[in-house]
Amino acid sequence: MSYMSGLGLGGTLFPGVLWAQAQERQAITSELLVDAAAVAGLEFTQEEREGMLRGLNQNLGAFRAIREQGIPNEIPPALQFDPVLPGAQLPTQQKPFRMSRRPEVERPANLEEVAFWPVSVLSELVRTRQVTSTELTTMYLDRLKRHGPTLESVITVTEKLALRQAARADREIATGTYRGPLHGIPWGGKDLLAVKGYRTTWGAKPYEDQVIDEDATVVRRLEEAGAVLIAKLTLGALAQGDWWYGGRTRNPWNLEQGSSGSSAGSASSTVAGLVGFSIGTETLGSIVSPATRCGATGLRPTFGRVSRYGAMALSWSMDKIGPICRAVEDCALVFDAIHGADGKDPTARTLPFNWDAEAPLSDLHIGYLKSAFESERATDADKAALEVIRSLGIDPIPVELPDEFPLGAMRIILSAEAAAAFDELTLSGRDDMLTRQGRGTWPHTFRTARMTPAVEYIQANRLRTMVMGATEAALDGIDVFITPSFAQSVLLLTNLTGHPTVVLPSGFTEEGTPVSISFVGKLWGDAEMLRVARAFQEATDHHLKRPPLFS
């Protein structure tokens, strides 16, 4: 084991010593319980401790028995998070899917010009047979091989699979079978999605050679939509940051910067024109943060809208899967293909996704996080984004989020679930193989979380229910609101409540790197949220800019 050892402040023993002593003695004693209680912030009398010993030692046996069973990462707990509060009414009416008006496109002399085109335009090249999927796939494969090493954004190029899928798409389209706007479009997936026949490394050295013999639901659904998987992209080790076992994924706008994470390779590769679109995941900022750093457009859907089957589990009550693209409508196109229940992820629901790209916004109640835009931390780009919304004829309604809860304290939910997901890694000592070992990294978080009392984890989740109720009340009648992406505790709060967010570029710093703005929707209101974000994006040109090193 790699636990720290030694005395803490005031002579309290660190968790590593407590564990070692319990293992050495094969029993918990009253003296050991004094220090163990201090770790949990508790104090018991001598008589109370004596009364606890029998049960605690029985628990030790239970813990050992559970560990001996060996629980794979993909097994969820019997308890599951549901963002739906009692009395909530879920949408039921499915309406026709309406894209924006098809653009008139013409194949450029140099096909590589289309590397930065959005899916909605690329798909027209393919649908009208001006470009074959094989041509498009070959072009993107070449860019992956040329630029992937520079960005350190690619783990595996799935060339054989991609060319096979592209050839099938070409045969189908040539015979009049067109599956829709993703048909023949090359994409890349965060390498925590299982793909049969290929490594799924989770970005971490202990799993570098891991092969999971099945396809994740998202991978299967994109294949059914005709999309072409060309690469498995980097993620920070076990979905933290942008450092993985092979290096650090780079920001296409500034190679001295990391791309942020943990969907590091997905954001970086999309913005650099190495894939048509990508898939990322978010537990606490892992789509919003790299999309901001790299200048991508990323969708974190409502919790439970996309099955996580076949994806690495980090936090069963917070993990979400979503697209990272070059335009808002691309996110809608991809989401339409991947959302819905699959009978494998118990949290996944099938609910209507009513995308109508050109529907007026007049039927929506649109708000703005007033205190965030009035804060000293609000940037000129933030304020300009709000003015863009007003220029669309919208008079946004001021809203505020509940601020009476200790949201930071509730991060123990994520830490405890992540520690459980990787308990075997910690107990085996293989956590020492992870690239990052400093303060705040997963190895230390997992070890620390082992000392979280079960009661406190349950209490944090009860508090979470209160936060959900207070948030629902604060946003009553609001369909979507605009906010600086990292204002106040909006990112943590909405990941705890399950609300959807779409993040998109809103400008650039003096150093030439992107900044972002976010739109937060009501639960299950992903389509309405995307409509407002698309209107904003159509009124700006930030998403059209290309990183010079990769143009």
Q: Which residues are catalytic?
A: 190, 262, 286
- Nearest CA to 531 among 371, 389, 402, 414? 389
Cα 177 to Cα 324: distance, rounded to the nearest angstrom: 27
CB 339 within 8 A of CB 306: yes
Spatial neighbors of 411 by CB under 8 A, at least 6 apart, are: 284, 492
- Nearest CA to 497 among 302, 267, 297? 302
Cα 368 to Cα 362: distance, rounded to the nearest angstrom: 16
**Edge-to-edge strands, sheet with 397-399:** 154-157, 228-233, 186-190, 277-282, 320-325, 297-300, 501-508, 514-521, 480-484, 366-369, 397-399
Cα 480 to Cα 501: distance, rounded to the nearest angstrom: 9
Cα 533 to Cα 520: distance, rounded to the nearest angstrom: 10
CA atoms within 13 A on the CB side of 157: 18
- Nearest CA to 90 among 81, 82, 98? 82
Cis amide prior to 307 (ω within 30 degrees) = no
The structure tokens 């996944």 sit at 348
List, as one string, the DSSP characters of 172-184: HHHTT----TTTT
Cα 289 to Cα 263: distance, rounded to the nearest angstrom: 8
Cα 209 to Cα 201: distance, rounded to the nearest angstrom: 7
Burial of 120 (0-12, 13-18, 19+ CB in 10 A): buried
Interior CA angle at 237 toward 233 and 238, to 5°?
100
Interior CA angle at 366 toward 360 and 368, to 5°?
145
What is the identity of the amino acid at 410? M
CB 297 within 8 A of CB 516: no
CB 503 within 8 A of CB 287: yes
- 239, β-bridge pairs: none
Report residue 385 as tokens: 């984004």
What is the identity of the amino acid at 470? A
